[in-house]
Structure 1
Amino acid sequence: MSAPLPSPLAFVPFVSVDHMMQLIHEIGIEEMLKGIATYVEDDFKRWELFDKTPRVASHSKEGVIELMPTSDGQTYGFKYVNGHPKNTKEGLQTVTAFGILSDVNTGYPILLSEMTVLTALRTAATSAMVAKHLAPEGTKTMAMIGNGAQSEFQALAMRVICGIENLRLYDIDPKATSKAQSNLTAFGFNITACDTAEDAIQGADIITTCTADKQYATILTDNMVGSGVHINAIGGDCPGKTELHKDILSRSDVFVEFPPQTRIEGEIQQMPEDFPVTEMWEVITGTKEGRTSANQITLFDGVGFATEDFSALRYVRDQLEKTGLFQQLDMLADPDDPRDLFGMVQRAKKTQEAA
């Protein structure tokens, strides 16, 4: 099934949660993760074109609501996203999101999409794309500490992009580990469910931390981390929320997306303002080096940045015409005379009365 995208002067293509799930199954989840990773990497290569700002956040004791805007000069995009760790106790998602792309020339939106599922995909795709540049050569084993909603996406992205075959899973809730193990069994991993974080990291080339509690936590202590590993630290993503002991940061080469945001939200919020970091776009473009030795500890302090959401939305929009998995959303006023919006409203009343 295929359909032409609607004119931006008429209707806006809307991708619902149901459409997104259909899109994943039509393309294949691993192919979709690879596709999004490619788009994210391509946009990092043109990093200097983008408007960049730390996300606009509204914090409460229960969580955070954020807007994440950016533009490459031709297309503008933003994501609305929340993070409420207590939600799972009430049967709700920790993270929900939606996003919009708009045409800079007219200001008209050209895509509205769910981003709860898409954020999970883009977070995993970004992690794996970064690991491709930073992880040890010949990486086969990953420890996944925190087996919540993001864990399976992370594992699959690392498998298809980095060649991960062995998974060592740990969560403080054994039910979460059982869930992840059950969901991933069909994908060909060798899976070990572990009783402690210390057990999980044994023999791991990549250590992914992805926990949800909004607190200064110490998921990994300094003595747990040996030389030569790549740490994919993606759970510390707002002020007051970390996962790693700061001594690990002191021993690591730390790579980030956008320093002004990461210094507020990431693991490096624990460190002095002049703590040295390398921006990933510099590694991807060859301006700076990533992994330089077998004994080096590389650490991706990933908090999620607006360009990655922009990339994911671009990817989805490029798939719509060939798949037809969208609906036309009537959200743009289109009066016959652009100056007569009031007249359009009045004529609608007459049409309703006549019906």
Structure 2
Amino acid sequence: MAESHRLFLDARAVARSLPWPALIDALQRALRAADVTAPPRMHCELDPVGGSAPVLLVMPAWSAGLGVGTKLVTVHPHNPRLGLPSIHGLYVLMDAATGRPLAVLDGGELTARRTAAASALASRHLSRAGSRCLLMVGTGRLARYLPLAHAQTRTIDRVLVWGRSPAKAEETANALRTDGLKADVALSLQDAVAQADIVSCATLSNEPLVRGDWLRPGTHLDLVGAFTPAMRETDEHVFARANGVWCDTLDGATTEAGDVIQAIAAGAFDASRIAGDLARLCREGARRADTDITVFKSVGMAVEDLAAARLCIDRHGHDAATP
């Protein structure tokens, strides 16, 4: 295959090369292998622009089988005023044996798809096998990916979409219907939570949206937003009621995840009650009763990026070489 075919993969090429079933399985294999090195991500505040402080995030990871990869992400809070996304990113993948650059991939699409796939992977182990109704809280980019990914591991025959803007919720529901899911707008968040088997949250909220008192026994919560200590998508009663709390990384959950940090600060939860991380969940599984309330808290980790990037260029290379 010519080198030019895999030098840069844009968002469309990344999406085409990362179908949900293959991506979910690739993440599970990487997490079970336990041979990936992933140092803590570097968080650099840049010089203020437009009255706000942009951030550079650097997330490296490497293994002999997957390669050497680094994700570079910039977060510029003032960008919406310029008509631009707040977050931009690139992923660079190199050969582990030689250091030869293999590909540069669109970081936004890679991140969105691996995030949704990680949530679906956790749900494979934590949600009830008979889960059929999913509530999507949020209307951003991930709201169009998370239900599709969850539908790979559970027979989701109904999706409810709730957002602060009913118009955006309708747009999200329309997009999901186009992708083959039966989706409707939820006007009452409390009523929708009471109907859902799986509640997936992907918002930028700083105030609790989902209340622990609303949850019925057997619900699984997938918490993707609240990636800073000041943010939260749930109140502390969610964690007080939970029978099993899992996270993608223990360090991330206790230093970055606002839902967990604020529940601990309120005295409703203790870090010792975290059952384990996603790698342990993939290796050992989890026992749950049908009445258990389970929580998966995601903040993102470099192992997921590396596994997704490797799968992406492997599949892209195969597709490009196939007439």
Instruction: Give the TM-score band, short-chain normalised.
Output: 0.7 to 0.9
Indicate whether 1:16 and 2:9 are aligned.
Answer: yes
- Counterparts of 1:80-119 in structure 2, within 5 Å, are 80-83=72-75, 87-88=79-80, 90-119=82-111
1:263 matched to 2:249: no
* 65-74 vs 55-64, which moves further: 55-64
SS in 2 for 1:201: helix
2:291 to 263, 270, 295: 295
1:282 to 276, 280, 283: 280
Please list every run of 5 or more consecutive structure 2 residues that lacks an aligned counterpart in the other structure.
Answer: 47-51
CA distance in 2, matches of 1:86, 1:194: 31
Rg larger in structure: 1
Relative to the length of structure 2, the TM-score reads 0.87
Partner of 2:49: none
Quick check: 144-153 or 155-164, which moved more? 155-164
Instruction: Establish whether residue 183 from structure 1 lines up as the match of residue 175 from structure 2.
Output: yes
Structure 2: distance between partners of 1:88 and 1:103: 36
Equivalent position SS for 1:231: strand
Question: 3-state SS of the aligned residue for 1:309?
Answer: helix
**Aligned residue for 2:241?**
251
In 2, the alpha carbon distance for the partners of 1:321 and 1:204 equals: 40
Give the TM-score of the pair, scaled to structure 1: 0.79
C-alpha deviations, 1:138-181, integer Å up to 9, x for none?
11100001011111111111123322110111000122112111
Distance in 1 of aligned mates of 2:126 and 2:208: 23
Aligned to 2:166: 174
Q: Are residue 209 (structure 1) and residue 209 (structure 2) matched?
A: no
**Partner of residue 351, structure 1:** none
Q: Is the 8 A contact 2:174 2:183 kept in 1?
A: no
Report the alpha carbon displacement of residue 87 of structure 1 after superposing the two structures with TM. Answer: 4.4
Structure 2 equivalent of residue 157 of structure 1: 149
What SS does the corresponding residue of 1:318 show, helix, strand or coil? helix
Equivalent pair of 1:241/1:265 in contact (CA under 8 Å): no
RMSD value, Cα: 2.4
- Measure, in 1, the Cα distance between the counterparts of 2:5 and 2:93: 10
Partner of 2:215: 225
Give the match's secondary structure for 1:285: helix
- 1:218 & 1:65 partners in 2: Cα distance? 28
Q: Is residue 241 of structure 1 aligned with residue 231 of structure 2?
A: yes
Residue 38 of structure 2 aligns to a residue whose secondary structure is coil
* Structure 2 counterpart of 1:311: 307
Q: Which runs of 5+ in 1 are unaligned?
A: 326-355
Query: Is the CA contact (8 Å cut-off) linking 2:54 and 2:74 kept in structure 1?
Result: yes
In 2: Cα distance, 1:22 partner to 1:105 partner: 26
2:131 maps to which residue?
A: 139
Paired letter, 2:199: I
Deviations 1:160-206 (A, max 9, x none): 33221101110001221121112122233222211232132131000
Deviation at 1:260, TM superposition (A): 1.2
